[in-house]
Amino acid sequence: MKRSRSKTRTTAAPSQNEDTALAATPLESALTALAEANDSDAAVHSSDQAPTVNDSDGLDEEEDEEDEDDDDEEEDDGDLEGAEDDSSEDSEALDEIDPDEWPSSDDQEFDSDDEEETFRDNSVKVLRRKVPLPEIDPVYDPDTSDEETTNTIGNVPKEWYDDFPHVGYSIDGKPIMKGTEGKSDQLDEFLSLMDDPNAWRSVYDKIEDKDVVLTKEELEMVKRIQRGDFPDANSNPYEPTVEWFSSQTMVTPLSAAPEPKRRFIPSKWEARRIMHIVRAIRQGRIVPGAKKPKNTDLHNQTFFDIWGDSIEPVDRGIMHIAAPKQALPDHDESYNPPEEYLPTEAEKQEWKALDAPDRPRNYLPKKFDNLRSVPGYDRFIQERFDRCLDLYLCPRVIKKKMNIDPESLIPKLPNPRDLLPFPSALAITFKGHTARIRSFSVDPTGQYMASGSDDQTVRLWELVSGRCMNTWTFDDAIASVAWNPSKSLSLLSVVARTKVHLISVPGIAGPDITAATEALIGHIATLQSSPTTAALCHWAKTSSSPAPSSSSSTPLPPPTRHSAGSRLTLTFDKPVTYLTWHRKGDYLSTVCPDAATRSVLIHQLTKRVSQNPFKTAKGLVQRVTFHPTKPFFFVATQRYVRVYNLATQKLATKLQPSTKWISSLAIHPQGDNVIVGTYDKRLAWFDMDLSSKPYKTLRYHKQAIRNVSFHPRYPLFASASDDGNVNIFHGMVYSDLLMNPLIVPVKTLRAHQIVDGLGVLHCEFHPTQPWIISSGADGTLNLFS
């Protein structure tokens, strides 16, 4: 049996102002009358039987398929009748449809404007009026010819077509050959600018490979964009606001259109979904009002891991570190140890004299005849208690091993062969002194050298040949020797305990230099010392009468028998240990460590004046020196190096080498870098523009460093030590302040033998050649080239 469905067409009640809002057409009036007549006829025949509708005329193919499905379901379930039949059939059909694919009620309405729907009801055909659409103009093209793109290669790199004669392909697949616009140089562009009136508004298009001339509208658009206006000239950002919905109550409705049918007809798709839920409730699959039981089983619950994206591995294993094991017993802990493990009486007394923390072990080995004779260990409880404290109080930490290549820790230094020249071999040995040679000095010309020794003699050597040219004998050991740095004078200063002798050396310079030296000493002798100078030291001129060169009965060789050439003497109250000259040769500074506030004095030769720059002593002074280019004065005490500005008479800076005892000091010829030698085997390099702390600390010697020196011309510096070695370093100082000095050890010279714990006492570079001279406690001088 096939059931038919009836469709009832109803109309919405008109609004109160419908008569004034809409005017009904004659056709619409006729259709309304026919619909009312049909409704009255349907009401008359409703008591006899339900009205039937022709399925082939009034329903679409989809409804026919649904009726066939309903008929099949009705044949299977013939015992169901009425509304229950319909609900079960709808529910079964709903089960076969995916809920995500259910259409909405709007999809079932017949509101399309371009389709015609026909309803047959009592042989009446109702047509819906179509809304006319605008005609299509086949000639109109929304894209103008200027916006068309001839090259159809798309957004690909132009470099792909560099090796081809074309730049792309047209819409017909034909290659577009390259032009000459993109290959013009500056000269062609200039000529084109002069000849072409449109060159100023032409833009090169890379894709089309041609110049595009901008129109007036495009130029106006560019100008508006530059001014910050809208690109479109017709756009008005300040148009008056049209209030479509305002706060004023409207007399007539905004829209008087009739309500659509879908708003007052129940949706059959919603009915199917409701019946699907009803069937689930009947079957017990859905219990209305039942609360979902909480999952109280923590083991089966899943929690969000906030550290799931962590870089470190989650499974770290058991974080347990075993305690360190105790040391195994040694042979001396045996009750019957060998004889060599038993201490002597002297060792026992020495062990008892030490404090408990300083003892190597907390017991003395003992020997017993048998195990039964071994007494109880008196420190057993104390050792167990200490072990418990170690386990309880000492934390145990896993030390992460650093995966570092050992080669990366070694600085990349240049090959020493690339840093030549530097002294590397022994060339000349000067022999003649019989005691330690504490000091020597090379004259400014580099031809002669004067050396002072503990044998109370000063010898003059010819540097190239090694011949001793002159010898002067004094009453005390020679502590320091220094030439005047001025090349116009031939003046040598010698420190002999409490006296400083200024010697005019004849025969090594021209007559003009000798005469100038004699004139200077004569001028100093004619001056009178001020009371302040007389209180500090005593100036006196001495004669050059003959004096024996040696106090021994053994005659010296003929070249050493000369008279004492001392011409001017400065006498002090305390022994003088060091002497240095100013670069101009007029000022002289002396160091008397035991003189307290007079430990550092500065003397001026041309005025015969001595002055004390410091009123109080800042420490035990070891070395002093003048800055090579600036009015700075360096004073090295035991632990610090103070730099004073002589112009302002203030402390400029204070260098801290972090050592126990400073032994020597040297300044780079440019004046910005200082090296300090110490008795604790370290050499500190200071960059004064960088910091007051050492830039580099070098420790290449095994014993105390006695002297350090810079080469006046080459990037070399050296250090002399009591281990008998002289280390040569390459020290390059760059003019660029952003680059740090380059320090490379290049050579170790085995210079002298160690005598009474003393090795090399002094070292100095040649003024012009890459040579170095060293003096030692063995009484010799060595020249390395």
Q: Find, among 72, 61, 62, the residue nearest to 3 by Cα.
A: 72
**The pLDDT value given to residue 314:** 58
Which pTM was predicted? 0.51
- Residue 649 structure tokens: 């008479």
Q: What is the dihedral of CA 174, 178, 179, 180, to 10 degrees?
A: -170
Q: Which helix (H) or strand (E) holds 569?
A: strand 566-571
**The pLDDT value given to residue 234:** 85
DSSP string for 428-497: EEEE--SS-EEEEEE-TTSSEEEEEETTSEEEEEETTT--EEEEEE-SS-EEEEEE-S-TT--EEEEEET
Query: Given the structure tokens 């000369």, which residue do they identify?
Result: 562
Query: Given the structure tokens 């809208």, which residue do they identify?
Result: 230
**Sequence-separated (6 or more) residues with CB below 8 Å from residue 511:** none
- Residue 120 structure tokens: 């047959």
- Residue 702 structure tokens: 């095994």
- Residue 312 structure tokens: 């470190």
The Cβ of residue 695 has, within 10 Å, a number of other Cβ atoms equal to: 17
Distance, CA of 62 to CA of 64 (rounded, Å): 5
- Beta strands (DSSP E) in 84-198 are 119-120, 125-126, 166-169, 175-177
- Residue 167 structure tokens: 């730049």
H-only helix segments in 614-670: none
- Residue 114 structure tokens: 């371009």
Side chain identity, residue 320: H
Q: SS3 for 623? A: strand
Distance, CA of 592 to CA of 493 (rounded, Å): 16
Distance, CA of 611 to CA of 535 (rounded, Å): 10
Side chain identity, residue 671: G
**The pLDDT value given to residue 8:** 36
The values of phi and psi at residue 30, to 5°, are -65, -40
Q: What is the dihedral of CA 634, 637, 638, 641, to 10 degrees?
A: -30
Q: Find, among 473, 478, 452, the residue nearest to 549 by Cα.
A: 473
- DSSP classification of residue 615: S
Distance, CA of 577 to CA of 595 (rounded, Å): 11
Q: Find, among 713, 715, 746, the residue nearest to 732 by Cα.
A: 715
- Beta strands (DSSP E) in 200-354 are 202-205, 210-213
Angle formed by the axes of helices 82-95 and 61-76, nearest 10°:
110
**Burial of residue 766 (number of CB atoms within 10 Å: 0-12, 13-18, 19+):** buried
- DSSP classification of residue 193: H
Q: What is the dihedral of CA 667, 669, 670, 671, to 10 degrees?
A: 20
Q: SS3 for 673? A: strand
Cross-strand pairs, 377:
none
Distance, CA of 57 to CA of 126 (rounded, Å): 12
CA distances from 34 to 24, 328, 540 (A): 15, 119, 153
Distance, CA of 155 to CA of 626 (rounded, Å): 74
- Residue 650 structure tokens: 């203030």
Q: Find, among 659, 660, 651, the residue nearest to 616 by Cα.
A: 651
Find out whether 625 and 643 touch, Cβ atoms under 8 Å: no
**Sequence-separated (6 or more) residues with CB below 8 Å from residue 117:** 110, 128
Task: Give pLDDT < 50 ranges for the chain.
Answer: 1-28, 30-31, 34-35, 37-128, 140, 142-145, 545-565
Domains of the chain: 26-126 (no CATH), 628-785 (2.130.10.10)
Find out whether 677 and 622 touch, Cβ atoms under 8 Å: no
Distance, CA of 705 to CA of 519 (rounded, Å): 41
Query: Given the structure tokens 């008795």, which residue do they identify?
Result: 679
What tens digit of pLDDT does each residue of 194-227 get?
A: 888 888 888 888 877 788 899 999 999 999 999 9
CA distances from 214 to 46, 188, 205, 225, 313 (A): 79, 20, 12, 15, 63
Q: Dmax of the chain from CA atoms?
A: 172
Side chain identity, residue 437: I
The values of phi and psi at residue 66, to 5°, are -65, -40
Cross-strand pairs, 662:
678
**Burial of residue 623 (number of CB atoms within 10 Å: 0-12, 13-18, 19+):** buried
**The pLDDT value given to residue 123:** 39
